[in-house]
Amino acid sequence: MHDSNEESDLKRHKADIKMERGPEKNKPPAIEHKAYARIGLLGNPSDVYYGRTVSVSLANFWASVKLEPSDDLVIAPHPTHDLVQFKSLGHLVDRLKNEGYYGGVRLLMAICKVFNNHCKDDGINLHEGNFTLSYDTNIPRQTGLSGSSAIVCAALSCLLDFYKVRHLVKVEVRPNLILSAEKELGIVAGLQDRVAQVYGGLVYMDFSKTYMDDLGHGKYIPMDTNLLPPLHLIYAENPSDSGKVHSTVRQKWLDGDKFIISTMEEVANIALEGRAALLEKDYARLARLMNRNFDLRRRMFGEDALGALNIEMVEVARRVGAASKFTGSGGAVVAFCPEGPSQVKLLEDACKKAGFLVQPVEVVPSRLNEIDLKTLLSK
């Protein structure tokens, strides 16, 4: 009886508090969206060079952004990734060494600015009202899995829903907005990752100059995820920086270097061939194309730029007969074991021995809803 009276008092107390705060039902609901890591399966890095790619959304890792209506517009720092309070000088130095100087606050600010400017330029009216943006992510840093763009992509989805303008911002344009936000911050990247994160699933992308000049974006074709064979992700706990790999090759390409231009065209053609291989479920051909993709990258960028640790991840997989290549610009590798489970076991053992983490790839289905699909149809 005593416990029952205490429970009744507690319930009445909670009810009194709710009445003092006012009715909860009038509070606008929070909006939350996820965006997933991605794997560049074939053709990368030709997306930055008017090429083609095939990319996969990776359910293993994601970033989430929450938008809650509020009196002021607040960009909330993450308790870990935007840390500004430390136990000691040593703690600060260690944190910068592992996490870098930048968290996600700058990314959220940049997409707010780019979104606002895009709507202004396109004559899209935005209603009054403020919000608080917060984020979380479990995408490992510097693994070439597109952790930064995932935060921006999830935030853009929140803004589209908060302002109720999803139907006015075409799906094909959204990757450009995400990339523009990152360019504001000096992040060097191409459209491939952002397309994969906006669309979800398995996507073939053609960034030919004709499309880019005429449309302002590439031609993006979603594919059936059931066409994919089992894939594995290999990554290092302390990877290299993925942001420095494109630099010298891009300058050579801009300067008209014939070797770089012709090799990059060959990389783009790998994606075209790979799309055909997937449609035919010709996985032996897919394995050859994955290996060829990395070999061409190695020839263009050189071993110093790619980094010994990154190359070793590829080589560990190849030593057991698996096909392997970078998922992005280094830090993680996608592997395919054409011989099945016994070969997967060899891969897992080899990675463990080398100190790398390995896990099966889980594929995200299409992220497009009915409103998104309608914007695709309205040309």
Determine how β-strand 219-223 pairs with β-strand 202-206: antiparallel
Summarised one tens digit per residue, pLDDT across range 109-159 is: 999 999 999 999 999 999 999 999 999 999 887 777 888 999 999 999 999
Total residue length of the chain: 379
Instruction: Classify 309 as helix, strand or coil.
Output: helix
CB atoms within 10 A of CB 90: 9
Over residues 213-223, the mean pLDDT reads 95
Query: Does the pLDDT at position 27 exceed 90?
Result: no
Instruction: Classify 31 as helix, strand or coil.
Output: strand
Does residue 193 carry a catalytic annotation?
yes
d(CA 330, CA 317): 15
Q: Which of 56-70, 78-92, 155-169, 178-192 has the lowest mean pLDDT?
A: 78-92
Over residues 191-196, the mean pLDDT reads 95
Query: Does the pLDDT at position 26 exceed 80?
Result: no
pLDDT value of residue 305: 86
Lookup result for tokens 């606008």: 28
Q: First vs last Cα of the chain: how many Å apart? A: 69
Query: Does the pLDDT at position 367 exceed 80?
Result: yes
Over residues 318-322, the mean pLDDT reads 98
pLDDT value of residue 379: 57
Please provide the DSSP assignment of 117-136 as one string: HHHHHTT----S-EEEEEEE
Of 313, 311, 294, which is closest to residue 355 (Cα–Cα)? 313
Residue 5 pLDDT level (bands cut at 50, 70, 90): low
pLDDT value of residue 11: 52
Instruction: Classify 110 as helix, strand or coil.
Output: helix
Average pLDDT score, the chain: 89
Query: Does the pLDDT at position 365 exceed 60?
Result: yes
pLDDT value of residue 20: 44
Query: Does the pLDDT at position 349 exceed 50?
Result: yes
Query: Does the pLDDT at position 7 exceed 80?
Result: no
DSSP 228: P
Query: Does the pLDDT at position 311 exceed 90?
Result: yes
pLDDT value of residue 271: 98
Query: Does the pLDDT at position 16 exceed 70?
Result: no
| CA distances to 208, 221, 228, 276 from 279, in Å | 21, 13, 9, 5
pLDDT value of residue 88: 92
One of 193, 255, 304, 372 is an active-site residue; which one? 193
Query: Does the pLDDT at position 25 exceed 60?
Result: no
Summarised one tens digit per residue, pLDDT across range 234-288 is: 998 766 544 444 458 888 999 999 999 999 999 999 999 999 999 999 999 999 9
Please provide the DSSP assignment of 73-112 as one string: -EEPPPTTTT----SSHHHHHHHHHHH-S--SHHHHHHHH
Measured in whole angstroms, the distance separating CA 334 from the mean position of its chain's CA atoms is: 15
Non-local (6+) Cβ contacts of 105 within 8 A are 75, 77, 78, 82
Residue 1 pLDDT level (bands cut at 50, 70, 90): very low
pLDDT value of residue 221: 96
Of 247, 258, 185, which is closest to residue 48 (Cα–Cα)? 247
